[in-house]
Amino acid sequence: MADVTMRIWRGDASGGDFENYTIAQNEGEVVLDVIHRIQATEAPDLACRWNCKAGKCGSCAAEINGKPRLMCMTRMDDLPEGPVTVTPMKTFPIIRDLVTDVSFNFAQAEKVPALLPPPMPVGGYRMFQEDVERGQEFRKCIECFMCQDVCHVIRDHEGNKQHYAGPRFFIRYAELEMHPLDQNDRRDLVREDMGLGYCNITKCCTEVCPEHIKITDNAIIPLKERVVDAHYDPVAWLGRKILRRDKRSASEAAVQPAP
Amino acid sequence: MTTSPYEHHDYDVLIIGAGGAGLRAAIEAKQRGLRVGIITKSLLGKAHTVMAEGGMAAAMGNVYEEDNWMVHFRDTMRGGKYLNNYRMAELHAKESPDRVWELEQWGALFDRTKDGKILQRDFGGHRYARLAHVGDRTGLELIRTLQQKVVSMGTDVFMECKVLKLTHDADGRIAGCVAYWRPSGEFVTFSAKAVILATGGVGRSWKFTSNSWEGTGDGHAMALWAGANLIDMECIQFHPTGMVWPLSVRGLLVTEGVRGDGGVLRNSEGKRFMFDYVADMFRAETAESEEEGDRWYDDHTAGRRPAELLPRDEVARAINAEVKAGRGSPHGGVYLDIATRRSPEFIRRRLPSMYHQFMELAGVDITREAMEIGPTCHYIMGGVKVDAETAATAVPGLFAAGEVAGGMHGANRLGGNSLSDLVVFGKRAGMGAADYVESGAGATSFELSEVEDAVKEALAPFERTTGENPYDIQRDLQELMQANVGIIRTGSEIEEAITKLEEFNERVRNIAVKGGRAYNPGWNLATDLPSMLTVSRCTALGANLRTESRGGHTREDYPKTDAELGTLNFALSSDGGNWDSPVSAQKSPLLTIPDELKALLEEAK
């Protein structure tokens, strides 16, 4: 097989540039294999994250020829001929080379009010397959954060990170909202503090999801509908006023203790 | 209190490792109101638990009412060829259903039966369908559930932080550890009254492995250096079904769920060869013919289980023998066929990630073609010797749970018993550590010299201008262990490995690394190699002493089990406490099984 030239971004928060590595290819290799061979030979200090090498852990996300991909699931022979460019995810601050600081996502995870189920009956809860399947789709998420990387609300507007949770966490909120056992209500929270309204459903997140989760159609749009129902449906509004069910604010929901 | 020259943190309970066992231990200790810190080499949620596919074994009896803890205990002991710590196997069988149900309170969504209970699937060595699962991504569900619970409790997690060594106080109690941040390369020290090791396995020392870069045996090695004992280090599980082609994915796991859901193994002649490899021990419970085995899938009372569902050690050996006999596939494996046995819809629903894995990495559509598979280094049964009830080791203040602990699985682990092991003994380690802390026995100072020694050793590769690339050493180590202490072993090869491993000491002492300390994988590997070498030495030593074949330890020169060796473990200890110190072995008798439990085993023999 012909040699390939890898254009890899090298540097840190203070700056950097592309470095070219020309290397032999073997049959069936993925981008991560080639990166690993460069590490083992020419550049042992080339930084990249990886764990499972099987598309299950979501550690090795990077931008390959400008598109967010898992390096372990991108076959070299699927890429167009010519040099292959590998850059770190753009939305997150650089640590070194292909490694970015994804702590924004872990900070968002801390804000999610936990599941609030009823007490468990002896022998476990009863739930039905068709009811758990909606949440199971979202729980396929491997937290590669490529949906966060590609979402222009934060990719192009750093300041929005202050008040926008991003697609990964919208599917988490959707999962909890659709969970058969959950008694929490996070609709105010996603509207007021998580910036659900900033998403204008361009579906960029869905396109890059390596787990093929229909982020926009199955999570964000239904979540938007639930928020709209809660806040703008006049019948529901009147009902809440009469029954005084609008007392529970987002902040109250957020401090709801985990069981 | 000792003053550290580095960034320093203080906890009641410090947990090293953030897979299933570490996270479950954290929840337990946190619920006791203690100050808990978790250290992980990777980001949170990326630990090897995420790779587990098929399910977690728990005798809930949701699919077969006949199932109960006694059958699960018996299956586990038989699968382990009776080398297990019986008390661990007993506690595991009794407590795993509660540990599964509690995950649902924290948000897990398992697949369901028609009447809304948790669905359970068949796996090798389990008499009944027993594995709670979510398609073929059960490990992801487990780690995400525990991760979300831990985060909701406000637990401190130190991500991308590599622990170098445990520290002691002047009385020899465990007092914390010294580590460095991978992103910055800066050192950090921790003091703690109790430390729980939950660091997983050792598979990175073999060439063909399902393990990630993290499986370097850090916990095994640190426990040994700190004064604890390791047992059963020769018992390594080679999972029968790893991918073999393309070469770049060789070793990648293919779930046993494929066979549980009807997949069969065939050789190059198309024959279901497993029926020729049924050991006497399993003959009474294994189908005699393909037809009988096939009836069993629909109704476990209409036939006995097919031979493809024998325990993993039996299947891996059979595949190895077929390939050796010249009946293998083009790339040196055999065929795993579900395409001719189940509908494409069924396969895609039950095995979605296998479907994608083969489609995207090998260009194979498993709903139309057979997969090429072969054994891959997957799991170490051996580990730190612990007390079953508390997960305490021989060193005061040090606890261990999950893959790093030994005893639970004996000589061979059944599929599905690992995820349940993590939560059963993760919780017990959390309880054991919390009791220890509350008793006031914990250390309050640590020996600064241990910190300084570890830091000096870690920085040495930067001081050498000439020296060896750590990646070359890792590659040679992997080839040596694969060739000489692999799935089938023989005395002369093991002895050769023991000699050669000594030569590796000198090579590790001569590593030079390029670049700086911030996120430098070459340096990171240089700091992993000492543990890799220590555990490899332990495996080779145990393999040399166990002159019999049992479970995950097969000797070509001693093909039979030995009754006397079946009554003991080899307990290893370090003479010196450093990575290059000699390791010595002592015979350590197994716990005596009480008569009422023995009766459960004998009933089934």
Q: How far is CA A204 from CA A57, A134, A167, A223, B32, in A?
A: 21, 21, 10, 17, 44
Where does the pLDDT of residue A73 fall: very low under 50, low under 70, confident under 90, or very high at 90 and above? very high
Task: Give the mean model confidence (pLDDT) for residues A28-38.
Answer: 96
Domain definitions of chain B by residue range = 238-377, 449-568
Write down the pLDDT at residue A123.
87
Instruction: Give how far the C-alpha of residue B493 lies from the chain's centroid of Cα atoms, to the nearest Å.
Output: 25
- Per CATH, the architecture of B238-377 is what? Alpha-Beta Complex (3.90)
Size of interface A-B (CB pairs under 8 A): 183
List the single best residue of A30, A38, A41, A45 to mutate versus B (max B Cβ within 10 A): A45
Q: How many Å lie between the alpha carbon of B51 and the closest alpha carbon of chain A?
A: 6
Segment B99-110, tens digit of pLDDT: 999 999 999 999
Residues in A closer than 8 angstroms to B149, CB to CB, are 114, 258
- B505, pLDDT greater than 70: yes
Residue B357 contacts A where some CB pair is shorter than 8 Å: yes
Residue A134 contacts B where some CB pair is shorter than 8 Å: no
Q: What mean pLDDT, rounded, does chain B reach?
A: 96
Among B147, B168, B149, B167, CA closest to B159: B147
Write down the pLDDT at residue B454.
98
Structure tokens given for B20: 């299933």
B116–A117: do the CB atoms touch at under 8 Å?
no
Write down the pLDDT at residue A235.
77
- B395, pLDDT greater than 60: yes
Write down the pLDDT at residue A258.
41
- A121 DSSP assignment: P
Query: How far apart are alpha carbons A52 and B377 in whole angstroms?
Result: 14
Write down the pLDDT at residue B561.
96
- A257, pLDDT greater than 60: no
Task: Give the mean model confidence (pLDDT) for residues A206-220.
Answer: 98
Write down the pLDDT at residue B604.
54
A28–B362: do the CB atoms touch at under 8 Å?
yes
Contact yes or no for A54/B51 (Cβ under 8 A): yes
- In this complex, the residue of B48, B360, B521 whose CB is nearest that of residue A39 is B521
**Tally: H helices and E strands in chain A:** 11, 7
Residue A115 contacts B where some CB pair is shorter than 8 Å: yes
Residue B149 contacts A where some CB pair is shorter than 8 Å: yes
- A32, pLDDT greater than 60: yes
Query: How far apart are alpha carbons B57 and B492 in whole angstroms?
Result: 39
Segment B455-495, tens digit of pLDDT: 999 999 999 989 999 999 999 999 999 999 999 999 999 99
Where does the pLDDT of residue B293 fall: very low under 50, low under 70, confident under 90, or very high at 90 and above? very high
Write down the pLDDT at residue B53.
87
Segment B151-172, tens digit of pLDDT: 999 999 999 999 999 999 999 9
Options B304, B312, B342, B428, the catalytic residue = B312
Task: Give the mean model confidence (pLDDT) for residues A111-116.
Answer: 97
Among B251, B230, B127, CA closest to B570: B230
B247–A102: do the CB atoms touch at under 8 Å?
no
Question: Which alpha helices (DSSP H) does chain A contain, by range?
Answer: 31-40, 103-110, 129-139, 146-150, 152-155, 167-177, 187-192, 204-208, 221-232, 234-243, 250-254
Residue B319 contacts A where some CB pair is shorter than 8 Å: no
Write down the pLDDT at residue A255.
40
Instruction: Give how far the C-alpha of residue A11 lies from the chain's centroid of Cα atoms, to the nearest Å.
Output: 25
B51–A54: do the CB atoms touch at under 8 Å?
yes
Residues in B closer than 8 angstroms to A40, CB to CB, are 469, 471-472, 475
The ipTM assigned to this model is 0.94
Residues in A closer than 8 angstroms to B60, CB to CB, are 124
B149–A258: do the CB atoms touch at under 8 Å?
yes
Q: Name which CATH class applies to A4-100.
A: alpha beta
Question: Which alpha helices (DSSP H) does A111-247 contain, by range?
Answer: 129-139, 146-150, 152-155, 167-177, 187-192, 204-208, 221-232, 234-243
Query: How far apart are alpha carbons A237 and B185 in whole angstroms?
Result: 55
User: Which of A 136-155 lie inside 8 A of B, CB atoms?
Assistant: 136, 139-143
Q: Tell me the β-bridge partners of A23.
A: A4
Write down the pLDDT at residue B602.
81
- From A12, which residue of chain B is nearest by alpha-carbon distance? B518
B151–A110: do the CB atoms touch at under 8 Å?
yes
Write down the pLDDT at residue B174.
98
Say what the pTM is: 0.95
Structure tokens given for A187: 């609709």
Domain definitions of chain A by residue range = 4-100, 103-254
Structure tokens given for B205: 């020392």
Q: Which CATH superfamily is domain A103-254 in?
A: Alpha-helical ferredoxin (1.10.1060.10)
Residue at A125: amino acid letter: Y
Where does the pLDDT of residue A252 fall: very low under 50, low under 70, confident under 90, or very high at 90 and above? very low
Residue A200 contacts B where some CB pair is shorter than 8 Å: no
A97–B471: do the CB atoms touch at under 8 Å?
no
Segment B550-591, tens digit of pLDDT: 999 999 999 999 999 999 999 999 999 999 999 999 999 999
Residues in B closer than 8 angstroms to A111, CB to CB, are none
Task: Give the mean model confidence (pLDDT) for residues B435-464.
Answer: 97
Query: How far apart are alpha carbons B401 and B388 in whole angstroms?
Result: 10
Where does the pLDDT of residue A242 fall: very low under 50, low under 70, confident under 90, or very high at 90 and above? confident
Where does the pLDDT of residue A256 fall: very low under 50, low under 70, confident under 90, or very high at 90 and above? very low
Task: Give the mean model confidence (pLDDT) for residues A2-14.
Answer: 96
Q: Name which CATH class applies to B449-568.
A: mainly alpha
B109–A135: do the CB atoms touch at under 8 Å?
yes
Segment B123-156, tens digit of pLDDT: 999 999 999 999 999 999 999 999 999 999 999 9
Residue A12 contacts B where some CB pair is shorter than 8 Å: yes
Residue A54 contacts B where some CB pair is shorter than 8 Å: yes
Segment B202-251, tens digit of pLDDT: 999 999 999 999 999 999 999 999 999 999 999 999 999 999 998 889 99
- Residue in the structure block whose two tokens are 């139309």: B368
% of chain B at pLDDT higher than 70: 99
A54–B249: do the CB atoms touch at under 8 Å?
yes
Segment B43-98, tens digit of pLDDT: 999 999 999 989 999 999 999 999 999 999 999 999 999 999 999 999 999 999 99
- From A99, which residue of chain B is nearest by alpha-carbon distance? B519
Residue B520 contacts A where some CB pair is shorter than 8 Å: yes
% of chain B at pLDDT higher than 90: 96
A102–B362: do the CB atoms touch at under 8 Å?
no
- Ramachandran category for residue B574: left, alpha or beta (phi over 0 → left; psi -120 to 50 → alpha): beta
Across A7-11, B32-36, B278-282, least confident range: B278-282
Write down the pLDDT at residue A238.
75
Determine whether B87 is an active site residue.
Answer: no
